[in-house]
Structure 1
Amino acid sequence: MKILHVVTLHTPDHAFGGPTRVALNLSKVQRAQGDDARIMALGDGFDGELPDAVEGVPVHLFQARHVLPVFEVSGITSGALLRAARRMMRGADLVHVHLMRDLVTLPVALLALATRTPLVVQTHGMVDPTEKRVAQLTDLLGVRKVLRGADAVLHLTETERLDVNAVAAPVPLTRTVRLVNGVRPQERKPARDPARPPTVLFLARIQERKRPEDFVAAMPAVLEKYPDARFVLAGPDTGALPGTLALARRLGVADSLDHVGPLGHEEVLSAGREADVYVLPSIEEPLGVSVLEAMSVGTPVVITRTCGLAPDVAEAGAGLVVESRPGEDAANAGKVAQAVLDLLEPEANERAGEAAWGLVNGHFTIEAVTGTLRRTYEDVVRRSRR
């Protein structure tokens, strides 16, 4: 099967995060299974020529043009990409669009509908009801048509299914399929050595929504019990890094904080193995790949109740789920700190680490995900031919 994944953006530091990582992970397994899977996207931030492959996956990248800078990622596009998309659709059995309200994935999805190319849409929690006028106008001009016309709409959680249905209203979506994120199974790391100073990891885009300030604000309480603890702040900066580092200096914990910047995929897994606890106090996180990657090596996690993985983590005992309330920064940081301290206890760490590793291997492997997706693809192509 010839599959064209369309995602908004790829950068050297993977700053766009989840959708591009999901497209890469899916494409790698699909290609290993004999499919011709490839990715089309904008490229930005590269020195010299844009790459034609990423992690062994063929990519068709086009230089991003910042036509509406005020809208950041949503305001970049490329006429060359849109022209090439029409051409590449002719040879594709199916187009898988990782949809957001932007000038790349939305017009490509509309083009797929216009050319009657089988279309699968995955929104990654990025399309939900909103009061923003520009987003409402975008929904009116194109998003609703795409959701209603797609051959399948993939959702991560029940909340996301309800959200996309609300955007598509009053027409109910009948071709929705739950597809979780998946990661490759990994060897479980050894049990934590209590004689070694602990390491606590934050690994995600450093942006306000991910709440890196809560991670830093939790440091003093943890350092009170573990003065030699190291805190690793990893990931590309998308606006919140200066404030986060300034907070560390104000709290007097900057010497215990290692800011390592963006990491490659293997470095991400290595950082997870070296960490004793992974922390992501995000306000909203549909189904974080970085959380799954940490658990895949046996690292317990601290996440918030608004994370899509919260029910799974809580039920499996793969870490701790904390409440995070807007405007209650001190209380939020205190909850994160207590959760980290609880998971640093040797028995609790071992128990939660084993549960985390088992949770990923039981429910969130990329092979299981691509199996579900393959059945969806076959159903879509079969219906389109009929």
Structure 2
Amino acid sequence: MRVLHAVTLHSPSHAFGGPVRVALNLAKGLRARGHEARLLALGEGFDPWPTSVEGVPAKLFPARRLLPLGFSGITSPALLASASRLVRDADLVHVHLARDLVTLPLALAALRCGKPLVLQTHGMVDPSDRILAKVLDAVAVRRLLRGADTVLYLTPHEREGLDAVAGSPLARAVRLVNGTPAQEERPPLGGPPRILYAARLQARKRPVDFVDAAPAVLAVHPDAEFVVAGPDEGELSAVRARVAALGLGDRFTVPGALSGAGVLAELRRAHVYVLPSVDEPFPMSVLEALAVGVPAVVTHSNGLARDIAAAGAGRAVAPGPRTVAEAVLDLLDPAVNTRASAAARELAASAFSMDAVLDTLTAVYEGAGRR
């Protein structure tokens, strides 16, 4: 089967985050099973321009920023002009849908061409009072949700939101969790405690809470080291300012955006992974930490919070620096960390393996093809 995975943007800094990682993981898994999966997206910041990403054949169009609306304001006239041809070359089109000028036109082109269409929204399409969202919902999103062969959702909360946007319960919706490839186990750690944040630096993810949790951790572990890694989406200056205000420049490393291999290298050195964000649907960075065996600290509104807490693979806490610091200190106890590390790997392997995700996805594709 020739499967086209369409996502908004791929860049060396991984600015678009989780949806690209999910698309690549699924495409690699499908290719390993004999399917011809490829990636279609806008590209930005490449030199030279790639024709594949992590072994997945890719067609990337140079991004053009038309409106000051973040990812919603970027597109490519060349991509729009060739959208129908691109989807006709596939047996099935899998669109990682957002309210933007990339994935919406591609999904509409697949609908017009009568191609089997699978939508996966990653929590990016939810009820909104913003004028632009309302316009796009009326013009395109509602039609796509109702017309797709299958809509994939992560959590019951996301499903409720999609039903609300569609205006009625979706007829064909399937829950598909994010999967993570198996990883080598984190080696035995020595030296000072190392606490890692590796995600986009944006307000919702609360990287400043991570910084503000450091003094309480350092009061018990004065040699602890902290890493804040990820592409800047508005919070880098606040992170640097807070580190400076606390006088912790020698305790913090802020390396910027890391490659996938770079993130894994940091995870293998980390004692604890922290993502203090709120309303996080299903973060790939946490899944990658669990796969390596790094206990994770997340907030209660994280889509993985219940799984992590139930498995003992980390801690789920109320938002805020105090609760984050308390959870980190708990997980820095060597015996606790050892147990949580083993539980993290077991949870990743049992609940979020790529094999289980791909079994569900290929069944979805087969059903979409029959329809």
Counterpart in 2 of 1:21? 21
Task: Tell me if structure 2 keeps the 8 A contact 1:98–1:105.
Answer: yes
Counterpart in 2 of 1:327? none
Using structure 1 for the length normalisation, give the TM-score.
0.94
Task: Tell me if structure 2 keeps the 8 A contact 1:192–1:350.
Answer: no
Counterpart in 1 of 2:32? 32
Task: Tell me if structure 2 keeps the 8 A contact 1:192–1:349.
Answer: no
Matched, 1:296 2:291: yes
Matches within 5 A, 1:265-304: 265-304=260-299
* Other structure's SS at 1:354 match: helix
Measure, in 2, the Cα distance between the counterparts of 1:88 and 1:137: 26
Counterpart in 2 of 1:177? 174
* Other structure's SS at 2:69 match: helix
The CA deviation string for residues 87-109 of structure 1, in whole angstroms up to 9 with x for no partner, is: 12222110000000000101111
Displacement of 1:50 in angstroms is 2.2
| Match for residue 209 of structure 2 among 214, 224, 242 | 214
Aligned length: 371
Matched, 1:379 2:370: no
Counterpart in 1 of 2:69? 71
Displacement of 1:116 in angstroms is 0.9
Matched, 1:229 2:228: no
* Other structure's SS at 2:40 match: strand
Matched, 1:335 2:330: no
Matches within 5 A, 1:185-204: 185-193=182-190, 196-204=191-199
Measure, in 2, the Cα distance between the counterparts of 1:98 and 1:311: 25
Q: Mean Cα displacement is larger for which, 184-193 or 285-294?
A: 184-193
Task: Tell me if structure 2 keeps the 8 A contact 1:191–1:350.
Answer: no
Using structure 2 for the length normalisation, give the TM-score.
0.98
Matched, 1:315 2:313: no
| Match for residue 352 of structure 1 among 340, 350, 353 | 340
Q: Write the letter of the residue equivalent to 2:176.
A: L
Counterpart in 1 of 2:9? 9
Q: Percent identity?
A: 55
Matched, 1:60 2:48: no
Displacement of 1:112 in angstroms is 1.1
Structure 2, unmatched stretches of 5+, are: none
Measure, in 1, the Cα distance between the counterparts of 2:81 and 2:355: 33
TM-align CA RMSD: 1.0
The CA deviation string for residues 266-294 of structure 1, in whole angstroms up to 9 with x for no partner, is: 22111111000000000121110000001
Structure 1, unmatched stretches of 5+, are: 325-331
Counterpart in 1 of 2:353? 365
Displacement of 1:192 in angstroms is 4.3
Counterpart in 2 of 1:152? 150
Measure, in 2, the Cα distance between the counterparts of 1:90 and 1:274: 45
The CA deviation string for residues 278-326 of structure 1, in whole angstroms up to 9 with x for no partner, is: 00000121110000001101110000111100111111111000112xx
* Other structure's SS at 1:12 match: coil
Stretches (4+) displaced over 4 A: none
Task: Tell me if structure 1 keeps the 8 A contact 2:152–2:174.
Answer: yes
